């Protein structure tokens, strides 16, 4: 059946489940965020924040109020970036205009994150317009690495729109061909500059990077899926062949068997760089590596304090490396040590894939929770008056939680903000990462798919939260409610995990375990 999502469907569901969060919770959080905010820039202003969010976001509550608050904070910041233009809606990265952005202040670097996060809004028009903008209305999708075909397919998994996918298929082919012409130097692998990966000052530097090659595999596989939907069998076969060829070369040339890690191969050199960088885990974002212990061993580095583990977020380079640095001098965006929410998002998405799709013993659900908990609690800033407020910015000092770029930019010239660098509070409410998608698809465990099968596979450890509920979650033309009640007393529906589809119980289990169902 066709599952084209209709935005007005929400209005038809007026009887909320007793196992749903109190709608007043959203209003309370929005009022608190607004009161603490110095509203410098916003496309949808604070005065309209509650109305926008009430119409669009899933309601969520849980027994850990830090997660709950960060969830609503990240939606509150995301709506600031939803910008209506003559070319339809776009989603921005920076709120102030910056000189290196393209049309309508758009930047392709975080584009995939903006799709993964924004697909959980109930109105699909924001991202459908965004897709058309990138490919047909003046967007610059290749100014930075950007896995756009995979991103559009991810949106389709939640809000199916086969007509749009078929319409954009030629554009996606042309975009891929342009990448092949500009970023393939010799052989199957793609070359990229570190700063065009959004990773300035990275120790590994420019070269054949695990990032761009993973992205191109992801896009090739996505184009193949879209071609299948359009009945283009030979086209699909050709793009699967491209993905297979790149994957084989990655495994042969970018995998360091001694270090058990994917690394950068610099052009003209025979040996891989001698540093593990967090982006070497990117292949798992697309389920690229083989399901073998020697590959999954790479994930031991995320919990190793000499590797990437740190109290305020994973470091961008392994801490044991002599060039690991946490500098307040030079470029304000350095990927040689600081923790970046952009990279944390890719890492946790890949880690969820690892825990769901691989047989391994390098990490477990408790490790995933630990990293997401750290990420959750990093969303703060202590103001000059001593008040701790919710905050998301550019890069973090992994050992004390200072927002490094903010500190650097504020001190740029005798304590005044540099206009050339983006002006006052450039990085405030920075839209360069995911958070709510990690909670929905990882911790709660809704695993989107192309068919009508339905899977919930929570990564939340059994004893961590006593309850959670997420309601009005859009999925393939339905609205879902997922609840966990360890005691059976919070919602009065009994103990366990419950899945409701449009208010009707579809599946349940006594523990935080895998649930499957079919959408009608």
Specify if 75 maps to a domain. no
- Mean pLDDT value of segment 394-410: 95
H helix count then E strand count, the chain:
15, 13
Specify if 148 maps to a domain. no
Residue position matching structure tokens 């690394």: 263
CA distance 340 to 344: 6
Confidence of residue 414 (pLDDT cuts 50, 70, 90): low
| Mean pLDDT of the chain, nearest integer | 94
- 295: which 2 tokens? 């590959």
pTM reported for the whole predicted model = 0.95
The answer, yes or no, to whether residue 15 has pLDDT greater than 60, is no
Specify if 205 maps to a domain. yes
The predicted-structure confidence for 416-433, as pLDDT tens digits, reads as follows 787 778 889 999 999 999
In the chain, % of residues over pLDDT 70: 96
Instruction: Give the model's pLDDT for residue 502.
Output: 95
Specify if 307 maps to a domain. yes
Specify if 140 maps to a domain. no
CATH (domain of 347): 1.50.10.10
Specify if 317 maps to a domain. yes
Specify if 312 maps to a domain. yes
In the chain, % of residues over pLDDT 90: 90
Q: Where are the alpha helices (DSSP H) in 419-474?
A: 436-438
Specify if 76 maps to a domain. no
Count of C-beta atoms within a 10 Å radius of residue 393: 23
The predicted-structure confidence for 253-311, as pLDDT tens digits, reads as follows 999 999 999 999 999 899 999 999 999 999 999 999 999 999 999 999 999 999 999 99
The predicted-structure confidence for 331-345, as pLDDT tens digits, reads as follows 999 999 999 999 999
- Mean pLDDT value of segment 430-455: 96
Residue position matching structure tokens 């926008």: 52
The answer, yes or no, to whether residue 400 has pLDDT greater than 50, is yes
The domain total for the chain is: 1
Count of C-beta atoms within a 10 Å radius of residue 138: 13
The predicted-structure confidence for 126-177, as pLDDT tens digits, reads as follows 999 999 999 999 999 999 999 999 999 999 999 999 999 999 999 999 999 9
CA distance 416 to 396: 21
Q: At what angle do helices 210-229 and 148-158 cross, to 10 degrees?
A: 50
The predicted-structure confidence for 165-205, as pLDDT tens digits, reads as follows 999 999 999 999 999 999 998 899 999 999 999 999 999 99
Q: Which domain holds residue 288?
A: 184-374
Confidence of residue 18 (pLDDT cuts 50, 70, 90): low
The answer, yes or no, to whether residue 482 has pLDDT greater than 80, is yes
Confidence of residue 322 (pLDDT cuts 50, 70, 90): very high
Give the Å distances, CA to CA, from 296 to 27, 92, 354, 501: 43, 35, 8, 35
The answer, yes or no, to whether residue 7 has pLDDT greater than 90, is no
Q: Where are the alpha helices (DSSP H) in 8-64?
A: 9-12, 24-36, 49-56
Cα–chain center distance at 496: 28
CA distance 472 to 16: 9
The answer, yes or no, to whether residue 376 has pLDDT greater than 60, is yes
């Amino acid at each position: 059946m066709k599952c084209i999502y209709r935005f007005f469907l929400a209005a038809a569901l007026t009887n909320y489940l007793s196992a749903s969060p109190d709608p007043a919770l959203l209003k309370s959080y929005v009022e608190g965020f607004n009161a603490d905010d110095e509203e410098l820039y916003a496309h949808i202003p604070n005065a309209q924040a509650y109305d926008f969010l009430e119409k669009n976001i899933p309601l969520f509550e849980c027994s850990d109020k830090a997660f709950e608050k960060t969830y609503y904070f990240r939606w509150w910041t995301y709506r600031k970036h939803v910008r209506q233009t003559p070319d339809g809606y776009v989603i921005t990265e920076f709120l102030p205009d910056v000189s290196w952005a393209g049309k309508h202040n758009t930047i392709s670097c975080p584009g995939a994150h903006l799709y993964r996060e924004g697909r959980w809004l109930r109105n699909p028009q924001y991202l459908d317009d965004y897709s058309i903008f990138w490919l047909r209305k003046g967007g610059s999708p290749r100014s930075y690495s950007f896995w756009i075909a995979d991103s559009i397919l991810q949106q389709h998994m939640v809000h199916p729109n086969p007509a749009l996918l078929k319409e954009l298929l030629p554009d996606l082919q042309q975009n891929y061909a342009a990448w092949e012409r500009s970023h393939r130097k010799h052989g199957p692998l793609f070359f990229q500059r570190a700063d065009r990966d959004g990773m300035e000052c990275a120790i590994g530097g420019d070269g054949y990077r695990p990032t761009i090659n993973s992205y191109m595999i992801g896009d090739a596989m996505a184009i193949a899926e879209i071609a299948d939907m359009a009945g283009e069998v030979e086209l699909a076969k050709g793009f699967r062949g491209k993905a297979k060829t790149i994957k084989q070369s990655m495994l042969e040339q970018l995998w360091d068997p001694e270090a058990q890690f994917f690394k950068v191969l610099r052009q003209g050199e025979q040996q891989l760089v001698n540093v593990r960088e967090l982006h070497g885990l990117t292949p798992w974002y697309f389920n690229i590596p083989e399901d073998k212990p020697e590959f999954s061993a790479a994930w031991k580095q995320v919990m190793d304090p000499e590797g990437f583990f740190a109290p305020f977020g994973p470091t961008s380079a392994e801490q044991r490396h002599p060039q690991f640095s946490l500098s307040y001098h030079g470029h304000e965006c350095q990927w040689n040590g600081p923790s970046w929410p952009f990279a944390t998002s890719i890492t946790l998405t890949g880690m969820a894939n690892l825990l769901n799709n691989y047989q391994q013993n390098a990490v477990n659900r408790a490790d995933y929770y630990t990293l997401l908990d750290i990420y959750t609690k990093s969303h703060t800033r202590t103001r000059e008056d001593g008040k701790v407020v919710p905050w998301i910015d550019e890069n973090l000092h992994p050992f004390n939680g200072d927002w490094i770029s903010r500190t650097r930019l504020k001190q740029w010239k005798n304590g005044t903000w540099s206009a050339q660098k983006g002006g006052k509070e450039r990085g405030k409410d920075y839209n360069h990462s995911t958070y709510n998608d990690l909670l929905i698809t990882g911790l709660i465990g809704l695993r989107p798919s192309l068919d009508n099968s339905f899977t919930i596979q929570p990564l939340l450890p059994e004893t961590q939260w006593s309850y959670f509920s997420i309601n009005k979650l859009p999925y393939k033309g339905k609205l879902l409610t997922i609840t966990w009640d360890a005691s059976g007393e919070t919602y009065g529906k009994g103990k366990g995990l419950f899945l409701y589809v449009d208010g009707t119980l579809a599946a349940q289990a006594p523990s935080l375990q895998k649930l499957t169902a079919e959408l009608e």
